[in-house]
Amino acid sequence: MQKIFIVLAIFGLGFASANLRSEMDELIEYLKMEEVREIYDWWITHDANVGEIYAFLQTAEANEAWVIITTGNPDLKEISDWALERGVELREYLNRIATVLGLTPLQPRALKNSAARSWATMMEEIRAVQDLDGAKARAAEFIADPTSEFGELHRMIAAEHHSIHTTFEDPAVRRVSNQLRAFGVDVDGFVERIYDWFGWDHSEH
């Protein structure tokens, strides 16, 4: 499900630019992905709770939800095709971030310490090294630029609210979301931030 979060995070930033690839690369720099990977690696090997979530994210069940999100919606596929015509494969960027976060199958890891700390604490550490405010501010500049291709991308995604909502109501996606809630992952808080960014009606999620 963290993979799903990654999809939402990328769309939620509303990346925009007259040059889709260069602006996406610029905004990803704000996310400090190599530093994030170091933090994530430490928690995976030292914390039982994070290790359990990490293992779940690599199951066939979680992968099924990831495939539904990234390829199962024809409206989102149309947007992906639009980006591809401009030299950007959105799935490539999403998979790159997923790999950095350890969300694609890697070698099994042995826990060095079974004393669990919380996923939320790990996320606080990750947010501390990232410049999310800078990324959002830069993205807002792109969105405000009428010549920006990323601004157009943001508007295209925002217009597909109902279609995207339907995708996230898919039973396979909901099962993964519910399991992550049981693990203590703040699924609902993340979704609320995405809805706020696009100005969507909260009553529909």
- pLDDT tens sequence across 50-101: 889 888 988 999 888 888 887 788 888 888 898 888 888 887 777 666 655 5
Residue 15 lies in a domain: no
pLDDT reported for residue 170: 94
Nearest by Cα to 83 from 32, 144, 157: 157
User: Which residue would you say has higher pLDDT here, 141 or 28?
Assistant: 141
* Range of lowest pLDDT (11-15, 24-28, 60-64, 152-156): 11-15
* 3-class secondary-structure state, position 60: helix
> Dihedrals φ, ψ of 169, to 5°?
-90, -5
Residue 193 lies in a domain: yes
pLDDT band at 13 (very low <50, low <70, confident <90, very high): very low
* Range of lowest pLDDT (25-29, 68-72, 86-90, 105-109): 105-109
Nearest by Cα to 136 from 48, 27, 62, 44: 27
% of residues, the chain, pLDDT over 70: 78
User: Which residue would you say has higher pLDDT here, 137 or 112?
Assistant: 137
Who contacts 205 (Cβ-Cβ below 8 Å, separation ≥6)? Answer: 165, 168, 191, 192, 195
The pTM assigned to this predicted structure is 0.72
Q: Does the pLDDT value for residue 159 go beyond 70?
A: yes
Q: How many domains does the chain have?
A: 1
Residue 29 lies in a domain: yes
Residue 39 lies in a domain: yes
Give the Cα separation of 19 and 147 in Å (integer).
10
Residue 1 lies in a domain: no
Residue 2 lies in a domain: no
Residue 74 lies in a domain: yes
Residue 205 lies in a domain: no
Q: Which domain holds residue 175?
A: 21-198
Beta strands in the chain (DSSP E): none
